[in-house]
Chains A and B, each alone.
Chain A
Amino acid sequence: MEGILKKSKDFILEKFDGATLFQENDVLLDQPLMTLEFASFSDGKEAVAKAANVLFMKYLKSGSTSSYQGEQIFTESQMGEALKTVGGNGPEPDLLLVYGPARCHLGFPAWRIRYTEIQHMGPLKSMKYGSLIKAIYKFTMVQQNYGK
């Protein structure tokens, strides 16, 4: 199920002179232009299922499937790589702004929002520049320990 933004991405990019579409191996720092990436619900759980199949194929091809009960055969980075090959693993957002009636991430790809600050901005029609600045300011005041 592709989201409506993804289907209209060409139209949206036309409206922005200074934006490019995100490419798989883009490095995020020091971009001269704003990079837009469109994600939809299918990039979440369904992408993980596809990645699981990619890993399964690797598992079979490696041929060494004898005594792996209980041992770890995949690592998280292998999972990340598999997600990238099926197109479901872009960079992790630092800040997620939720426009809508509720503070809820609505199925944003799980692998990417481990440490993302999720802020609720209210309904879409009341979007204001001031609230955006406030949200970014709140973000700059946050201190993360990442578990430590």
Chain B
Amino acid sequence: MERIRERVIQIYGNLVSLLQKCIFCILSVGPIPNHIAFIMDGNRRFTKKCKLMEGAGHKIGFSALMSMLKYCYEFGVRYVTVYAFSIENFKRSPEEVQSLMDLMLEKIEEILKEQSIVNRYGVRVIFSGNLKLLSEPVRLAAERAMLATAKNSKAVLSICVAYTSTNEIMHAVQESCEEKWDEITLLNSSGAGYGLISLGGYEQDEMDHLIKLTDIEKHMYMAAAPDPDIIIRTSGETRLSNFLLWQSANCYLYSPSVLWPEIGFRQFLWAILNFQQIHFYLDKQRKQS
């Protein structure tokens, strides 16, 4: 009896998988997004709604994330970014922050294992954000994960931790200033500076353009990935909460009303269909800017 039941579940699973593959085949006739970002909102609300123990929502949310990653990589989306932990989230109670950090540590170890999704799909993992704000064990685990997956080249997973867009922009500006300063110092020491340090040698016009947009962009935490094509924020919230504000100028913002642990194939499909509908318009906007 048990064996028959197992067999039925297996057949059902295979059928669902086949159906998903067929749908992906049909969808790939249209444009496939290169980069999808997720704001995983609603874990705590899910915990309350289903009357679960504290922290359970986040654990179920992690499985939801694994499913979404699977759909993305199977469909051919090369870059996926997730908003795992904002700098603003440090304002939460120390117990909550600690449990989130513990979960992150646990999951980083898990994804580095042999059979994990990261190795199956050849995913390179990048942690984007101000990692100095993290506790040492988490930061070291993150660095280990980045090193271990550095050679993977089929897809990229950017996990934003200790991240906000404003912090990212400010950090990029700072790096650009330091780089420009090093450049000027080098020119000066090689005798070619003509006293640039005192800025006597620059016209006012030149001084206003010492640091260019391209300098700032290459110092962004998210510089390794192209601009996102779709940002999906669950729980029906319509704000970006300081996530990828710089990179989302021509990005389709999709806000399904489901909570993050409830997200599934249906929402993924809907996001892709909507994206394909407006792709031409967004592409045109991108070329104009």
Contact = CB atoms under 8 A, between A and B. Distances in A.
Contacts of B254: 103
A113 B238 CA distance: 11
A46 to B, nearest CB: 7
Interface in A65-87: 65, 68-69, 72-76, 79
A110 B207 contact: no
A52 B216 contact: yes
Nearest to A1: B289
Given A48-B169, A68-B178, A117 B238 contact: yes
B211 interface: yes
B248 interface: yes
B253 interface: yes
A113 B253 CA distance: 14
A85 to B, nearest CB: 12
Contacts of B167: 76
Given A49-B212, A53-B211, A115-B241, A101 B173 contact: no
Nearest to A103: B253
Given A146-B88, A147-B89, A104 B240 contact: no
A107 B166 contact: no
Interface stretch (B52-60, B260-268, B278-286): B278-286
Given A51-B173, A56-B211, A107-B249, 19 more contacts: A41-B289, A52-B176, A53-B208, A53-B209, A56-B176, A69-B178, A72-B174, A74-B173, A100-B281, A102-B282, A105-B248, A110-B246, A114-B166, A117-B238, A117-B239, A146-B88, A147-B88, A147-B91, A148-B91
A102 B165 CA distance: 22
A-B pairs, top 6 by smallest CB distance, nearest first, are: A147-B88, A107-B249, A110-B245, A102-B278, A114-B242, A52-B173
Interface in B68-120: 86-92
A74 B92 CA distance: 25
B230 to A, nearest CB: 10
Contacts of B208: 50, 53
A48 B238 CA distance: 25
Contacts of A76: 166-167, 170
Interface residues of B, number: 52
A118 B91 contact: no
Contacts, number: 135
Contact of B165 (A49, A69, A72, A110): A110
A56 B255 CA distance: 39
B180 interface: yes
A48 B282 contact: no
B211 A49 contact: yes
B181 A115 contact: no
Interface in B133-189: 164-167, 169-170, 173-174, 176-178, 180-181
Nearest to A119: B238
Choose among A74, A114, A117 the residue with the greatest number of B CB atoms under 10 Å from its CB. Answer: A114
Nearest to A71: B174
Given A79-B166, A79-B170, A110-B245, A52 B177 contact: yes
A96 to B, nearest CB: 9
Contacts of B16: none
Interface in B170-225: 170, 173-174, 176-178, 180-181, 197, 199, 207-213, 215-216
A98 B289 CA distance: 18
B216 A48 contact: yes
A146 to B, nearest CB: 6
B252 interface: yes
